Amino acid sequence: MENLDSMNSFWDEYSPLMVEYGTSLLMALLVLLLGLWIAKMITGSIKKMMLKSKMDDSLVPFLTSLVGTILKILVVISALGMLGIEMTSFIAILGAAGLAIGMALSGTLQNFAGGVMLLIFKPFKVGDFVEAQGHMGVVKEIQIFNTILNTPDNKIIIIPNGGLSTGSMTNFSTMATRRVDWTFGIAYGDDVDKAEAVLQKLIDADKRILKDPVSFIAVSELADSSVNFVVRAWVNAADYWGVYFDMNKAVYKTFDKEGLSIPFPQMDIHLDK
């Protein structure tokens, strides 16, 4: 009888607390399960959007995982808050730790952010020939923190994405055509019209040089030792270097046959007795 009275007393004293905390626990569990389901749905929707936008394959799983983790943390914090756990101090500690880690890894985070921007906006892609940060080469790989270039002399250059995303860059592969520029000189006293005609003939003879836009030839400078011609012609991007080097060779051989001199710097010295 005494035990029964003790149990009744215990129930009378603690039953309101059990009901209160039991309800809170049930609500928190419900919020946790529902929140995790919603987080999963949101993450899946974001992943589908990124795949439809043809985002880089290496970036999709990373961003999906990042968004999913952040949403799950928010759901857990909300559930713990429903249990009456004071989250203000916890969030403050978490924020301070995040700030400290962010300051320690500021350079790494900058490179990470730069990598994300490069993969999203795609100013260049793998296989493009670019010049950036004082280096020139073919893009071999775009990573989260670095971009790897393969130089024409077969060197591997690793460029941090932070500076690459904020600095200037030249992409030689974006446009289908490129303009080739030359400067050729003849000696003073040579026939200017003849030189211009020879240059035009050489341009017409190279089938890789496009007819539209029209090539341009003009006297550009009366230099110290030569009369200089500027020559501009348009080619397909893949033909740029072949046309450039072949034209230099053709001009040298043809000028000699046509009696046109390619001058070099020289100095006249007058001696007084």
Task: Kindly report, as residue ranges, where domains of CATH 3.30.70.100 are found in the chain.
Answer: 177-257
Identify the pLDDT of residue 59.
Answer: 64
Whole-angstrom distance, CA of residue 173 vs CA of residue 159: 19
Identify the pLDDT of residue 6.
Answer: 58
pLDDT tens figures, 10-19: 455 555 555 5
Whole-angstrom distance, CA of residue 206 vs CA of residue 239: 11
**231, containing H or E segment:** strand 227-236
Identify the pLDDT of residue 12.
Answer: 55
Task: Kindly report, as residue ranges, where domains of CATH 1.10.287.1260 are found in the chain.
Answer: 2-104
Q: Are residues 255 and 199 in contact, defined by beta-carbon separation less than 8 angstroms? A: no
pLDDT tens figures, 151-180: 999 999 999 888 888 888 899 988 999 999
Between 66 and 1, where is the model more confident? 66
pLDDT tens figures, 123-137: 888 889 999 988 999
Amino acid identity, position 210: L
DSSP one-letter code for 229 = E
Whole-angstrom distance, CA of residue 130 vs CA of residue 172: 6
pLDDT tens figures, 182-199: 999 999 999 999 999 999
Question: Rounded to two decimals, what is the model's pTM?
Answer: 0.61
Burial pattern 80-106, b for ≥16 Cβ within 10 A else e, equals bbbeeeeeeeeeeeeeeeeeeeeeeee
If one looks up domain 123-171 in CATH, what number appears? 2.30.30.60
Share of the chain above pLDDT 90, in %: 37
**What stretches of 114-226 adopt beta strand conformation (E)?**
129-132, 135-142, 146-150, 156-160, 169-171, 177-186, 216-222
| CATH class of this structure's domain 2-104 | mainly alpha
Task: Kindly report, as residue ranges, where domains of CATH 2.30.30.60 are found in the chain.
Answer: 123-171
Between 79 and 33, where is the model more confident? 33
Q: Are residues 202 and 217 in contact, defined by beta-carbon separation less than 8 angstroms? A: no
Average pLDDT, rounded, for the chain? 82
Residue 252 clears pLDDT 60, i.e. is over it: yes
Residue 43 clears pLDDT 80, i.e. is over it: yes
Q: What is the mean pLDDT of residues 200-214?
A: 95
CATH 3.30.70.100 assigned to domain 177-257? The reply is yes
Share of the chain above pLDDT 70, in %: 79
Whole-angstrom distance, CA of residue 9 vs CA of residue 126: 76
Q: What is the mean pLDDT of residues 213-234?
A: 94
Between 122 and 147, where is the model more confident? 147
Identify the pLDDT of residue 13.
Answer: 55
Identify the pLDDT of residue 104.
Answer: 53
